[in-house]
Amino acid sequence: MRTVLFVDDEQPIRNALERMYLERDNVRCLFAASGQEGLEILAREEVWVVVSDYLMPGMRGIEFLSKARSLRPETVRIMMTAYADLSVAIDAINKSEAYRFVTKPWNNQELMDTIDEALMRYQLIKSLASEDEALYLSLAQAVELKDPYTKGHCDRVARYAVALAHAVGLPDDVINDIKHGSWLHDCGKIGVPEGVLNFPGRLSDEDQETVKKHPRWGSEVARQARMSDTVVNIILYHHERFDGKGYPDGLKGEHIPVEARIVALADVFDALYSDRPYRKAYDFEQSMGIMVEMAETHFDPHLMDLFRPIAEGVRADA
Active centre residues (catalytic):
189
Q: Report d(CA 145, CA 78) in Å as an integer.
A: 24
**Are 312 and 291 a contacting pair, CB within 8 Å?**
no
CA 141 – CA 150 distance, rounded (Å): 9
By C-alpha distance, which of 189, 285, 169 is closest to 235?
Answer: 189
What is the rounded distance in angstroms from the CA atom of residue 114 to the CA atom of residue 277? 23
Q: What gap in Å lies between CA 177 and CA 154, rounded to an integer?
A: 14
